[in-house]
Amino acid sequence: MADAVAYRDKKDALTTLAGLVEDGAVTPVIDRCYPFGEIRTAIGYQEQGHARGKVVVTVRAA
């Protein structure tokens, strides 16, 4: 497992990361999406350890 890296100025790091995402240089990998009503299923899937990307739970605005 890789060692964690600590940043003193998180704002600069997040600004840089946001720029990379906006430029399309960084793209998140999404394994599965679940509606909020299936959050237990989503958590169960994540806990299995087989997700090859992010597990997303969507919340709809009222």
Which among 53, 57, 28 has a CA at the least distance from the CA of 42? Answer: 57
Q: State residue 27's pLDDT score.
A: 84
Task: For the chain, give the mean pLDDT.
Answer: 88
Higher pLDDT, 61 or 53: 53
Distances (CA, A) of 45 to 3, 8, 48, 60: 26, 34, 5, 21
Measured CA to CA, the distance from residue 51 to residue 4 in angstroms comes to 21
Q: State residue 2's pLDDT score.
A: 59
pLDDT above 70: residue 3 = no
pLDDT above 70: residue 62 = no
The model's pLDDT over 5-35, given as tens digits with 9 standing for 90+, comes to 666 788 888 899 899 989 999 888 999 999 9
